[in-house]
Structures are given as C-alpha cells and as structure tokens.
Structure 1
Amino acid sequence: MRRALIVLAVLVGQMMLGQGLLAGPAGADRGIDQAPGRVALIGVPGLHWNDLTPSDTPNLWELAEASAVGSLSVRTVGNVTCPYDGWLTVSAGTRSAVGYGCGAPPRPEAAGTGAVIPDYRYLVDVAGQRNAGTLGESLKAAGRCSIAIGPGAALALADRQGAVAGYHASPLQVTTADLEKCPMVAMDVDDLVLPYLTGDRLPKVPDQLAPAERRDALRLADAKAGALLSVLPAGTTVLLAGLSDHGSVPHLRVAALREPGAEGRLLGAASTRREDISILPDVTSTVLTELGVPVPSTVVGVPMRVGEPLRVGEQGATFERLARADATAQTMRSAKGPYFTALAVLQVGFYVAAFLLLRRRKTLSWVRGAAVALAALPVTSFLVNLLPWSTHLELFGGMLAWWAAITTLALAGPWRRRPLGPLAVVAGVTALTLAGDLLTGTTLQLNSFMGYSAEQGARYFGLGNIPFALLATGTLLVTTVIAHRWPGKVGLAAIVGLGTFAMVLGGSGMGSDFGGVIAFVPGIAVTALILSGKRVSLLKLGAFCVAGGVIVMGFAWLNYLRPPAEQTHLGRFVGQVLTGEAFDVIWRKLQAMLGTLLNPNLMPIVIAAVAFLVYAILRPEQASAGVVPAAFEHSPALRAGLIGTLVSGVVGMLVNDSGAAVLSMALALAVPLLLATGIGAMARAPESVPGVGEKLAGVTK
C-alpha cells in the first residue's frame, strides 16, 4: 500500500508539472517582441456568421475571405451581452458590466480633437469596474496614439479618466493621412444593433427585426465598415468582431483577423483551447500585442492565434461551419430546459414507482431494468457528440441509440447475474467516457446537455461541474466494485490510485476544475477510511476538504507560473487573489450556487433521491422490501462508495457555482444503481427476505 502511494505521488507530481502540455492548439502566437504594427478594430455588435453574404455585405465578406476566421463568445457578466458591456469588456480586458440596464454606450462629449465619456466615474465608483480604461491607459503609457470612431470605440480606447485623444463620429471624417499618424483606430459600427434597442435597452425577445429589416441594417453596417477599410493605410492589421448580442438569446459572433499569412486559416485562442473560438477579453490582448504594447496582468484574455492553413476550397465551407456551430449551440440550448425537466420527472417518477412496487414486492426485475436505464441516461449526452448531429431529431435519436446500447450491455451480458455487474458497466462507461474526453481535449462536453456550450461562455474546455459529479461518482462506484472483488490492500489501492488519477485529470491543466478537486479528495478519503474500518469524524472530514483546497491551489500556483497566454482560469485565480479581485469572483459564484437551490429541475431530483434513500435505510421493509440493506450486506464496499459519493456531492454542491446540479447528478447516477444492485443481491439470496423469492425469479434470467 505504501509503495502504491509513493508511485501515485510521483505520478501526481509529474502531471501537475506537465499540465501545460495540452494547453491548447498549435498556432501562430504573437509576442510583444515583434515589430509594432497598425491595428484597426472594427466592432459590429450583433454580427452573425450567417449575416455575411457577397450580395448584402460585400465589404465584410471580402474582409473575411482575406482573414483568419473563428467564432467569438461575447458573454460578459450576464446571460446576454449588450453593446455597452461588450465595448466596456474590450476597454477593461476582463468581463465587465455597467451594472444597470443594458444598451448602447453613451455618446461622447467633444473635447478639442478628442472626446470624454460622460459620467465615466460611475463605472469605477458605482459599477465597481476597476479595470475600465485598461486598454486606453496602456496605449497612452506606451506612447501609442489612437483614434476612436463612434461611441463604443471611444469607450474602448478611453483612459481611466474617460478621455480619448482622437474622436470622430463617422468614418467619413477620417482620411488615410489621419490614420497614418496613429497606429490604433477602433470603430463602432452600431447600425446593425441600434434597430434592436428599445428604450436604449436590448429587447426581451430573441429576434425583434424581420429578416428584411435585418438585411437593411446589415447593408448600412457594411457600408460604414467599407468606408473605413477604404482609407486604412497599407499593412494595417484588421480585427473584425461582433461584440454583443442583439436580443434575449446569446449567440456566437464573428471574429476575423486580417494580417499577412492569416488568410485561409482558423482563428482561436489559448483562452478557450479551441482552434475556432475566442472570447471578448482576447480582443484587448490581441490589439495590445499587435501594437507591441505589454499586456497588463489584469487582462484575462490572451492574443488570438492563427491556426494551420485550411485545405484548398475550404474557406467558404468554413463560413458555413462557423454559422452551423452557432446553430448547433442553439439547438442544444432550446432543448436544454425540456431535457432537464424530463430528467427530473423521470427521476421523481422512478422513486415513486419504485416505492410502490418494492413495497408490494412486484415486478422487481422491471424495477431493476428501469434503474439501470435511468442511470445510463446522463452519459449519453456526451457520447452523442461522437456522432454528427445538428437537428433535434439527430440529437435525441443519437442519445436514444447510445442509451439502448449501454442499457442492453449492462443487462444482457454474463455479468448481469452478478449483483454489481450492471453497476460496474454503467458506472464504468460513465467514468471512462469522461476520463477519455479529458485526455483527448474535451470535445464531448462542448454542446452537451450535461456539459457546456460556447455561446453561454461559462467554460470552453476541461471538466464542467456536472461532468465532475458524474466522473467522481462513476470512479468511486467502479473502484468499490474492484474493492468488493479484491478486498484488502488491493481494493484500497484501487480506490486511492484510480480516484486520485481521476482527481488529477480533473484538477490539472486537462480538467482545470477548481471546486471538483476540493470535493473529490474527501470523497476518496472517506471511502478508503470506511473500507479500512476506520472512523470518519467531522474533524477528519474538514481536514480532507482543506487538503483538497491545498491541492487545487497547488495546481493553480503551478499554472500561474506559466506564461499568461498559457494560463487557465486556475492560474488567473491566483493572480486575482494577489490583486484583491478574488473576493468578487467568489461572491459571484456563491450567489450562483445559492440560486441553484431553488432550481425547479435540480432540487426535485435531490429531494426525491435523498428522501427515498434515507427512508429505505431507516424503514427498509416499508420502503424498499429490504433492497438497500441487501445491497449493503452483499457489498460493504458499495456502502463505503455510496457514502464517499454523497460526501463528494455535498461538498461539490457547496464549493461550485453549479450548486445543486452537482449533487443531483451524483444521486441520479448512484442511487438507481444502488437499487439495481440490491435487487440483484436479493435474487441470489431470496431467503433473506421471506416471500420475495418467487417475485425475484425473473431478475437474473
């Protein structure tokens, strides 16, 4: 056992030190040692990839064809991003919000050849945006003059006093000679988004304009962009960004970078570890880097990176691919609410039906089958991404096929006669799917019900909170099966070894999951202690949670020591601790966690599963015909694994912003498999519950 722990410690250390090996896709990164250039930032709030056509937007289409192209996730603080918040985020280099309403940036007030943003101190003193003005201040400190065209551009380039040295209301007022004097120009093309604003606020509907009205607005925006493009000095790097949403639903927006060698390539960033997705703060970092200006440590974005050349003829198809990426995200988004509602109904309905059927000792084989099928459902939301899909029919059809395959595998193989057989299959498939996804770049969690989607902007790579719950639960259950088969040192080594391996996958650079490590460590430790016959006290439990915190801060510190462009949010959190910004982050996550406790889809699963489990343990004959005690009697290791799962789920609920989602998914996987195991155990020893033998005869047939 001691040797196993030593080997494991070496493995953990190696993975911690090497966590940056999978930091992101290969590409052409920019550094501040390159020769300073000229940059034009053209922000078109609300711009989709499917807006660009040769007929309606010839100038933007030509620009995109000559650029590296990708999707831009524009989320800032809220669910949707208004133009004001989008431009403010570019100014600050970190996700920012004005704190009231959501609409267009304020009109600047003329001040000589420049302008001043009215009531700029509000952003710092009231809205708490201490980083506002970072871009403008950095340019001024480096001696790089800038020209702003339009309100949003003025906000982005303003210094910490809200002043911008050069300002014009229209690109028609600017000449090539003017632009040659300053290496930086930014333009707010607000013609597309202004028709959507109602009372200077985004509407509470997805699309307020009819298609014909949107095309008219696009033509105006294209003409304004073309006016600037026609007077740009030769060799200017052009960055096109769709900086905001246009309604009540978030979307992926346009990102395009025109510079020598960029044409015919994808545009992504290390911040997302995606070859075709970047985030708003990346715009700030890209502009500064292109100009040869050091990027302040408060900027959370990284320079966008140009990927490998596309094959001949793929450029037009790439535009369609990027438009389809948003359509796929919208398909998932539109079905996510009904999916979780259906999942909650199935979970609660199962416990009610199981309670009634088990009390009457009827159709127990069907209860077992339903329990296994219910536990197999969550992992299908990841496996479906191994198949091509874009419509609801393809999405749910693929999930149904995986669901049937896993359920059949669990119930039809020779292991079905073993009480722990179906549990081992379902938990094993779940854990292996997520571990494999972490090792191969987390392609299965993106655009999945249980994972995340880029347009929501919560996460783009690594281990999400719900996937953590499923990985931790699946791992603990599988290792307890091993401990059941090989009790003693071998079983303990499996729990500690495989559990720690999964924890490192989730907490290192591959998973970048902060709260998951804090929750996983006590789950592993409690399971191992119970199996070894030792008592678990509140003091020990608290110590395990602290140990988890220390371990994850170790991951974070090592990540912080890497170059800023290679840091994940773990390393950036260390920087936020050092700058005093961490409290704001923790407070936002705490508020999000508390909000989940009232979620109508998640909490019913928690309440129903916990109530059934507690009642089944306290009143076994009344609640479950002794199924739960039978499972524990058959496998004490399973009891230890279930307790470890509950500890991990509860701690995970408290330390993650997803809150109740963590515990609900842990229970959704563990409790049905516990019941299936108990029924299987009773089928092998029906005499343990008088009068049940004949009802269980079909369970193992």
Structure 2
Amino acid sequence: MTLLYRATEPKRPREVIGVRRALIVLAVLVGQLLAGHGPLAGPARADDAGGRVALIGVPALHWNDITPSDTPHLWKLAASSAIGSLSVRTVGNVTCPYDGWLTVSAGTRSAAGYRCGAPPTPEKQGDGAVIPGYRYLIDVAGQRYAGTLGQSLKTAGQCSVAIGPGAALALADQQGAVRSYRDSATGLTTADLERCRMVAMDVDDLVAPYLKDGPLPAEPELLGPAERRQALRQADAEVGALLTALPAGTTVLLAGMSDHGSVPHLRVSALQRPGAEGRLLGAASTRRDDISILPDLTATVLAELGVAVPPTVVGVPLRVGDPGATVEQLRRADASAQTMRSAKGQYFTALAVIQVLFYVGAFLLLRRRTHWRWLRVAAVAVAALPVTSFLVNLLPWSDHVGLFGGMLAWWAAITVLALAGPWRRRPLGPLAVVAGVTALTLVADLLTGTTLQLNSFMGYSAEQGARYFGLGNIPFALLATGTLLSTTVIAHRWPGKVGVAAIVVLGAIAMVLGGSGLGSDFGGVIAFVPGIAVTALILSGKRVSLAKLAAFCVAGGVIVMGFAWYNYLQPPAEQTHLGRFVGQVLTGEAFDVIWRKLEAMLATLLSPNLMPIVIVAVAFLVYAILRPEQASAGVVPAAFEHSPALRAGLIGTLVSGVVGMLVNDSGAAVLSMALALAVPLLLATGIGAVAFGRGSAPGVGEQLSGVPK
C-alpha cells in the first residue's frame, strides 16, 4: 500500500481556515491541561521537628499471612495503622530480599545484578558494622545511588540503629558503614533505642526457609501451609519484641519488602501513627489510594525524620487516605491480581487463535461468496473483544468465572449494540459503535483515574509493577485506533473542513490526554502525532511523503519532550516517569533506559501470541488490496469506495501502529492490537457496503477522485 497521495485540486481557503482553527483549539487545550495539572502531593521538606521512625521489614509477608491467631502482634499493628498494598517490583519480575532492601537504601529501583537471595551478613566493627563487598554494588552492579538513605541521615546528623542484615544494607552510608548494628532484637531495651530517632529491623524468619539454597526458588510456593505458619509465628514474635521496646510516639512502618518465589505478589504496607487507624495507605508515586512502592519507604522515613529527600529518590512520602480500609479488601486486591496474572497467557493465546481463525474463515467464505451476513457479525464481535478487558472492571469479580463471565457479557452487549440499532444498515454503523465505545472507554478511564486499566488483560497490574497509572502501551494502540476510526466516520458524514477539523481536534484531544500528566505515555504521543497528521493530510488531498512522515514523528517527539520537560520542572515528588526521563537525559542515564526498552521491543517480535495477529492481519489486508477479487470478493475496495475517509483513517492507524511498535517497549503488542481492532471493522464495513449497495459519500469521493487505489 503506497503512502504517496496527490490532490486533484488545490486546497480551498475555507479548509485552510478550518485547519488553523483546529490548531488554535488544540493549543488552548494543551495550555489548559498543562496549567491545570496540579500536584498530587507536596514536596518533602527538611523539618527539625521530625519524630522517631521504626521501619520493620518482613520479606515475603502478604496480607493473607496476617491473622489474629497466627500473628497477633502483626494483626494488632495492622489494626491500629493505615494499611495498603506494597508493590515490591525492582528490576526483575520478582524481587529478592537483597534487592528489596537495596532499593530502600537507594530510593530508586535497584538490583544486585544477579539472581540473588538474602542480603549479605554485615561484618561487625565495634558497635557498628560494614557491608562486605559494598563497592561491588557501585563499581560493578552500577547501583550508583546505593547508600542514599544512610548518607542522607548521616549528613543531617541523624544516628540510626540497624537490626539484621537487610536493615544494615538499607541504613548503610555510601561507604557501606552502619553506625549501630545488632543481629536481632533479643535483649533490646527502650533505652537502647532512645539514643537514635531511626531504627530499622530485618525480620527474615519468614523468608529464610525459602532461601535455604541461596537464591529465590524457581517455583511459586516452596513451603507447605504448616511450615509457613511456623515461620510466620517466629517472625511475629520478633516483631512483637521490637514493638515492646520502641519509645512512645514512634511512627512505625511495616513493609513486606520482597517476594518469596517465582510469582510476584502485592505485599503488606502499614503506617502506625496518630490518626491513621483504619485508613487506606497509598502514595502519589502510584496515584493509587491503596498502593505504594519500595522507594516510597525511603522518602517516608526521611520526611518523618525531618530530613530533606534527595532529588534522586523516585519515591514520595506515603499518603494516609480515606477511612474504611480492611485487611480483607487488600487480600482481594492481591487475589484479583493473581487471577488476572494466571490467565493472561491463555487469554492472549486465545485471542491470537481467534484472530487467525477469523482471517482464515473470512478468506474462505469471501472466496465462496457465502454466509456474508454471519461473517459481518463475526467481524464486529472480533473487534469488540479487546475493550471488554477494561469494561469488566466495572463489574465485581474475584475469580476466573466472574472475570470471563463479565467479559463475555460485555462482548455480547457491544456486539448486539453495534448490529441491532438502526445504524446496522449503514456500512459504517457497526464500526462507529465499536470504535467509539473503545475510544470513549479509554478516555473516560483516563479522566477518572485509570481504574479500568489496572488489573486488566490489556492493561497493567500493580504486582508486576511496570506501570501503576496512566495509559499503557496496548491501551494506547486501542485509543489511537478507536479515535482515528471514529473520527473518519465524522469525516465521511461531513467531508471537507469539518471532517479534517474533527480528525485534528478529536485526535489531538486523545493524544494530549494520553501524553499529559493524565496518561503519561511517552511513546504513544510520538506514534499518535504522525497518525493524526497523515489522516488529516490524506483527507485534505495532500501528498504524504516519507520526508513528511519523518517530520511528523519528530514533531511527536518534540511534543512529548515538551510534556516531559514541563513535568521535570515540577518538584521531584510530583514528577512522573516523563519528567524523570529528562533527568536521566541530563545525567547521562537515558541511554541505559532506551537500550532496555529496545531489547524489550525486539523480544516481542518473537512472541507466539502477538506476531501471529500481525502476520495474518497484514497478509489478509495486503492480499485483499492487491488481489481484491481473489482474497475478499472485493469487499475491502468496496469499503474504500464507500468511504475514502475510512481509507485515510486506516492508513493513519497503520502509521501509528508501526511507529508505536518501534518506540514502545511493548513492541509488537501495539501493532497487533491496532490491527485486531481496525481490520475486522474494515471488513465489516466492506460487507455492509456490498450488501446494502451504498456508494461513496458525496464530496469526499470527488475530493479524492484522483487518489490511486
């Protein structure tokens, strides 16, 4: 399919005015969004009136472990605290205790650089200790920020007490030294702890049995229920011993710190201080009222002690939220995440199989010119499937039956809506419904806190920790495709300047929502801009060359860097990964980030679930255009003949999909989902055009009469 298009007549002045007005509207929108993007949390400031803090880390602890009978001290602590879920993701898919404590030390996601287990045992030196091989972390493993927490306390003149290897690692300064160290809390008195305002304890009784062979086990659960309960009782006793010795008025932080096997989980997070009891515990870093990350512990400790939080710390102080938090609520959150995770591979496999079978069936039925009505129904149903993974979160579900039952209900509802209304007799009617529902669902989700993308097959999950808010890469592909196809329906109905303005304005609104603080999608903006521009230019009868396409991609990069620069100018506690990327560019760390994303993108090209969708969709589309009578009985050319605007929208979608694949670490997932929505709807439109004998829309057909097909 060529990207070179030529106008048959010069652009009329009214169309120029329409495009200019659209650009003015876009500029106003961007300005309002940037000006109105308020902070989620205030910056941490040094305060000499800081209190006492105790950080109790219990690696492997999740909310299912805490019960009144097995863990009375932990249960009592949770009952008097604000509680939430802790995402312990660092660098790998699962986090060992070494990496968890190292991340708290650095204030940013960190890893020792190999498949690790427990933190190293400190070497005692007088009352303190030194972490053996500490320079390895900085010189070899590249963990340049290791020791940030301990060094900040040391610089501020704050002493600290570390109990256990993990706590020593967290509180060590940049030379690996800890001023005061104890192996355990046994024999510890209140007088011992009153000397320093900061104490951290590594309670490793629960995770130790999992690390008997060194690294984390390569299986989900190594211990039986009885063995785990026994380890929990020992850990609870250690926690109780420290709680008894803490000076009055100490703020207590309880954290799950790490995973215990091959499957990531949401872990325990609790904050005990006056007024926090029974409330949710979250952080602005995740924009969730009940979820926080390990670097938030670093920021919280420093803020509670009145020590300035260094700008390299990516976490923010924990935020006590609304009342009504329950342990059962947090247990369900992890159960939902595990339900989604356990079925995600099968879901994408099934999606790939459905797509492949659909194209094979479409090819055979179209060649035989039979059962076209049912083929149209199947095409609409296949296109309606992706958005159901978001809409199901509007329904209560807790297991696989509820999850897939809810998705099937939404699938049927959208398909019936697209094919049962009066618009069903219009070739573009089903396309408008499915594409519109997809785009509006994601726009509404962006405007309401992205609750639909969290714990969804097409979105993201907190325990995996790749993203906690905003627009994910696959949702971007669906938003871009749904928006471009929906706006081409407007361009079909109102050709000329109205249609072009609709493409530019509505596409730009979706792009700004995705790239601003609401969506925080870096690669999406780079890909969306050329898609919008190409669609608008084709509708205007302008030529689209490779040079212009490259310029549009550069423009997308400039726009997203504008978003990123604005975000970078905010206080560190208010920055998203867009702003932090600017900081990484300035410090020279951006190359490592880009390289990791490139490796991830290339890995998706070998995905057995994603590439089949890309291959069969592209093969069918190309064959249907080059050999229309043999491949599709002419229904694809019929769709373009009925609506040249649809051709423009499809080309814009392909441009966004290809560019999005190249600039996002999700790679082939972006293009595959764009095709999964666009190509079946194109086929449904073509069948409708042939079945109902509709000609091309007046005005647009004349405007593009010279465009090669």
What is the TM-score of this pair, normalised by structure 1? 0.95
Which of these residues, 600, 614, 622, is aligned with residue 606 of structure 1? 614
Shift of 1:580: 2.2
Q: Is 1:48 aligned to 2:62, yes or no?
A: yes
Distance 2:694 2:319 in 1: 64
Which of these residues, 173, 189, 207, is aligned with residue 193 of structure 1? 207
1:36 match: 50
Shift of 1:467: 0.4
2:139 match: 125
1:416-438 Cα shifts (integer Å, max 9, x gaps): 11110000000000000000111
Tell me: CA distance 1:538–1:198, structure 2 relative to 1, closer, same or farther (3 Å): farther
Shift of 1:173: 4.3
Question: 1:434-449 counterparts in 2 under 5 A?
Answer: 434-449=442-457
Shift of 1:664: 0.4
Distance 1:158 1:473 in 2: 50
2:342 match: 334
SS in 1 for 2:47: coil
> Quick check: 1:82–1:102 contact (8 Å CA) kept in 2?
yes
> Quick check: 1:530–1:640 contact (8 Å CA) kept in 2?
yes
1:114-173 Cα shifts (integer Å, max 9, x gaps): 111111111111111111111111111111111111111111111111111111101114
1:176 match: 190
1:60 match: 74
1:694 match: none
1:281-321 Cα shifts (integer Å, max 9, x gaps): 101111111111111111100110011333xxxx5xx1000
Shift of 1:31: 4.3
Q: Is 1:372 aligned to 2:342, yes or no?
A: no
Shift of 1:17: 2.2
Shift of 1:32: 3.0
Q: Is 1:15 aligned to 2:33, yes or no?
A: yes
1:70 match: 84
Given residue 259 of structure 1, which amino acid in structure 2 is its aligned partner? R
Which of these residues, 627, 641, 651, is aligned with residue 619 of structure 1? 627
SS in 2 for 1:81: coil
2:707 match: none
Shift of 1:261: 1.4
Shift of 1:259: 1.1
> Quick check: 1:29–1:304 contact (8 Å CA) kept in 2?
no
Which moved further from structure 2: 206-215 or 563-572?
563-572
> Quick check: 2:442–2:475 contact (8 Å CA) kept in 1?
yes
> Quick check: 1:83–1:244 contact (8 Å CA) kept in 2?
yes
Distance 1:319 1:123 in 2: 37
Distance 1:684 1:56 in 2: 69
Given residue 56 of structure 2, which amino acid in structure 1 is its aligned partner? I
Distance 2:474 2:158 in 1: 46
Question: 1:131-210 counterparts in 2 under 5 A?
Answer: 131-210=145-224
Shift of 1:359: 1.0
Which of these residues, 277, 285, 289, is aligned with residue 275 of structure 1? 289
1:253 match: 267
Which of these residues, 403, 414, 419, is aligned with residue 411 of structure 1? 419
Shift of 1:42: 0.3
Distance 1:186 1:402 in 2: 49
What is the TM-score of this pair, normalised by structure 2? 0.94
Distance 1:187 1:420 in 2: 64
1:322 match: 330
Distance 1:30 1:225 in 2: 29
Moved over 4 A (4+): 28-31
SS in 2 for 1:20: coil
Tell me: CA distance 1:416–1:121, structure 2 relative to 1, closer, same or farther (3 Å): same
SS in 2 for 1:239: strand
1:314-338 Cα shifts (integer Å, max 9, x gaps): x5xx100001100011011111110
Distance 1:34 1:558 in 2: 31
Q: Is 1:294 aligned to 2:308, yes or no?
A: yes
Question: 1:179-578 counterparts in 2 under 5 A?
Answer: 179-310=193-324, 318-578=326-586
> Quick check: 2:194–2:247 contact (8 Å CA) kept in 1?
yes
SS in 2 for 1:87: helix
Structure 1 alignment gaps of length 5 or more: 689-701
1:179-211 Cα shifts (integer Å, max 9, x gaps): 111111111000000111242111111111111
SS in 2 for 1:281: helix
SS in 1 for 2:288: coil
1:629-651 Cα shifts (integer Å, max 9, x gaps): 11111111000000000000011
Shift of 1:30: 6.1
Tell me: CA distance 1:547–1:686, structure 2 relative to 1, closer, same or farther (3 Å): closer
SS in 1 for 2:86: strand
Distance 2:401 2:69 in 1: 33
Query: RMSD over aligned Cα, in angstroms?
Result: 1.4
Question: 1:92-111 counterparts in 2 under 5 A?
Answer: 92-111=106-125
Distance 2:445 2:45 in 1: 31
SS in 2 for 1:155: helix
Distance 2:567 2:694 in 1: 55
Shift of 1:8: 2.2
Distance 1:248 1:170 in 2: 28
Matched pairs, number: 678
Distance 1:497 1:505 in 2: 12
Shift of 1:686: 8.9
> Quick check: 1:30–1:305 contact (8 Å CA) kept in 2?
no
Which moved further from structure 2: 583-592 or 235-244?
583-592
Shift of 1:682: 1.0
Given residue 176 of structure 1, which amino acid in structure 2 is its aligned partner? T
Q: Is 1:88 aligned to 2:102, yes or no?
A: yes
Which moved further from structure 2: 166-175 or 391-400?
166-175
> Quick check: 1:48–1:242 contact (8 Å CA) kept in 2?
yes
Which of these residues, 635, 642, 647, is aligned with residue 634 of structure 1? 642
Which of these residues, 127, 130, 143, is aligned with residue 113 of structure 1? 127
Which moved further from structure 2: 622-631 or 243-252?
622-631
1:573-630 Cα shifts (integer Å, max 9, x gaps): 2222222222222121111111111111011101110111111111111111111111
Distance 1:686 1:149 in 2: 77
Shift of 1:4: 2.8
Distance 2:553 2:463 in 1: 33
1:644-677 Cα shifts (integer Å, max 9, x gaps): 0000001111111111110000000000000000
> Quick check: 1:168–1:174 contact (8 Å CA) kept in 2?
no
Shift of 1:502: 0.3
SS in 1 for 2:476: helix
> Quick check: 1:240–1:257 contact (8 Å CA) kept in 2?
yes
Tell me: CA distance 1:687–1:431, structure 2 relative to 1, closer, same or farther (3 Å): closer
Given residue 610 of structure 1, which amino acid in structure 2 is its aligned partner? V
SS in 1 for 2:281: strand
Q: Is 1:3 aligned to 2:9, yes or no?
A: no
> Quick check: 1:20–1:559 contact (8 Å CA) kept in 2?
no
Distance 1:687 1:92 in 2: 65
Distance 2:166 2:538 in 1: 60
1:539-598 Cα shifts (integer Å, max 9, x gaps): 111111111111111111111222222221111222222222222221211111111111
Distance 2:192 2:594 in 1: 46
Q: Is 1:590 aligned to 2:594, yes or no?
A: no
Distance 1:68 1:686 in 2: 62
